[in-house]
Amino acid sequence: MGTDRKELFRGLKYELATLPLLIAAPILITIGFKAIKQQNNYLFLIVGIILAITAIVLGILGIKIILNALFNRK
């Protein structure tokens, strides 16, 4: 009952891809709300929300892959 290293590294790649999104999404959402007040511009807010949703999905997929690699049922 060993750990599947290829799957573990694949899951860690997903998690590493999620980290910049977790930092960028709240910043863009904050900028987006300020842009709505000043210029009535929704672009930054929409991009920030899309990045936040992408970060959540990638994070869940990464955790799922890591858990499947660690707790292999073969």
pLDDT value of residue 4 = 82
Structural domain count of the chain: 1
pLDDT value of residue 74 = 55
pLDDT value of residue 11 = 94
The predicted-structure confidence for 55-72, as pLDDT tens digits, reads as follows 999 999 999 999 999 988
Q: How far is CA 34 from CA 21, 47, 72, in A?
A: 20, 14, 47
**Is residue 34 assigned to a domain?**
yes
**Is residue 51 assigned to a domain?**
yes
Q: Select from 23, 29, 19 the least CA-distant residue to 49.
A: 29
pLDDT value of residue 1 = 60
- Residue 61 and residue 70: Cα distance in Å, rounded? 14
Residue 58 belongs to what domain range?
10-70
Its pTM stands at 0.86
Residues of the chain short of pLDDT 50, as ranges, are none
**Is residue 3 assigned to a domain?**
no
**Is residue 49 assigned to a domain?**
yes
pLDDT value of residue 73 = 61
